[in-house]
Amino acid sequence: MAATGSQSAGTGTEEGYGSGHRIGIDLGGTKTEGILLDRQGNQLARHRVPTPKGDYDGTVATIRDLVARLEGEIPAGGRATVGLGIPGAISPASGLVKNANSTWLIGRDFKRDLTRVLARPVRIENDANCLAVSEATDGAGAGCGVVFAAILGTGCGAGIVVHGRVLGGRNAIAGEWGHNPLPWPADDERPGPACYCGKYGCLENFVAGPAVAADHFAATGETLDAATILARAADPSGDAGCKATADRLVGRLARGLAAVANLLDPDVIVLGGGLSNAELLYERLPAAMQPWAFSDRLDTPVRRARHGDSSGVRGAAWLWRPGEMPDAA
């Protein structure tokens, strides 16, 4: 992957990547965010621009301009490495984007096109994998060998980092936890809601924000968003309907995460996304997972993402790990 990018090196006063500055870009469906980190991971600059929806060439140009702007803010000049988080994956078989909800990227050779306009190699990862990298590098999973990080937001994605590196998988689907079925379903959880992936009963349709809201509506007839439901459930004087919805969510997440422990046994589980602000998840999940683990004892910590909404861009920047530079890639 490094071959084309290094051809652009050697432009006279080129300082190379020696300063250790990193740019991370988080390409979202509506907003594209960019961050400039110094060698230690301090944020030096951050910008957010609209994503040109439906416009592939415009998306490439937006990223090019954002990188140029951020690079111009390196105090002593020089080049930065570039990592990008996308709501999809690069197919190992074809090199083309797949599984993206930013559908205008699907089937495009995004990596090649960005490498060309940025004149350097670019690393691209799924946005949930970027969360996992961010938290494993200097977040809630720092110092842990195996980090499992899940986004509980409008959807449910997850990423796995092993000793600092993304475990992408042969088919680039490692960590697609949200499209595994809810484990040990009760009769009233079978077959479960239909999923856009074509199956029934995927975890995403039980534990993502819209699923929690739908579950609450089905039980109570009340229209509330997931964050409000969890906040009311945590209130001691609280609302019985919200408490019951929270109980069902904790039970389902516990089964889903215990299945992760049984397969991967990570050193830490990190939660990000809108639902991850609910403190009751961290208070209750470890004990709720225990009965489903194939172990007499389960002491896996469950922690909230330290970098919150910044984990996507920070993780994209950290796709180039300490000590790595494009010319050596």
Contact pattern from residue 23 through residue 62 relative to Zn ion, giving x for each residue in contact according to CB under 5 A and a dash for the rest: ----------------------------------------
Q: How many residues sit in the footprint of Zn ion (CB under 5 A)?
A: 4
Report in angstroms how near the CB of residue 195 gets to Zn ion at its nearest: 3
Nearer to Zn ion, 179 or 307 (CB): 179
Nearer to Zn ion, 182 or 319 (CB): 182
Report in angstroms how near the CB of residue 246 gets to Zn ion at its nearest: 23
Q: Determine the Cα–Cα distance for residues 128 and 109; give it in Å rounded to an integer.
A: 21
Report in angstroms how near the CB of residue 181 gets to Zn ion at its nearest: 9
Q: Residue 284, interface with Zn ion (CB under 5 A)?
A: no
Report in angstroms how near the CB of residue 180 gets to Zn ion at its nearest: 8
Q: Are 229 and 240 in contact (CB under 8 A)?
A: no
Nearer to Zn ion, 167 or 195 (CB): 195
Nearer to Zn ion, 56 or 184 (CB): 184
Report in angstroms how near the CB of residue 67 gets to Zn ion at its nearest: 34
Beta strands in the chain (DSSP E): 22-27, 31-37, 43-50, 81-86, 89-90, 97-98, 122-126, 146-152, 156-162, 165-166, 268-272, 302-304
Residue 202 DSSP class:
B
Contacting Zn ion within 130-169 (CB under 5 A): none
Nearer to Zn ion, 9 or 214 (CB): 214
Which of 59-67, 104-112, 118-126, 171-179 is the region at the interface with Zn ion (rule: CB under 5 A)? Answer: 171-179
- Of all helices (H) and strands (E), which one includes residue 219? helix 209-220
What three-state secondary structure class fits 103? helix
Nearer to Zn ion, 87 or 139 (CB): 87
Nearer to Zn ion, 121 or 157 (CB): 157
Distance in angstroms between the alpha carbons of the first and the last residue of the chain: 8
Residue 226: CB atoms within 10 Å: 26
Report in angstroms how near the CB of residue 152 gets to Zn ion at its nearest: 15
297's CB contacts (< 8 A; 6+ apart) are 290
Here the contacts of 58-65 (C-beta below 8 Å, separation 24 or greater) are: 59/27, 59/32, 59/102, 59/104, 59/105, 60/110, 60/113, 60/114, 60/117, 61/117, 62/32, 63/25, 63/27, 63/32, 63/114, 63/117, 63/118, 64/114, 64/117, 64/118
Contacting Zn ion within 216-235 (CB under 5 A): none
Contact pattern from residue 177 through residue 206 relative to Zn ion, giving x for each residue in contact according to CB under 5 A and a dash for the rest: --x---------------x-x----x----
Contact residues for Zn ion, defined by CB under 5 A: 179, 195, 197, 202
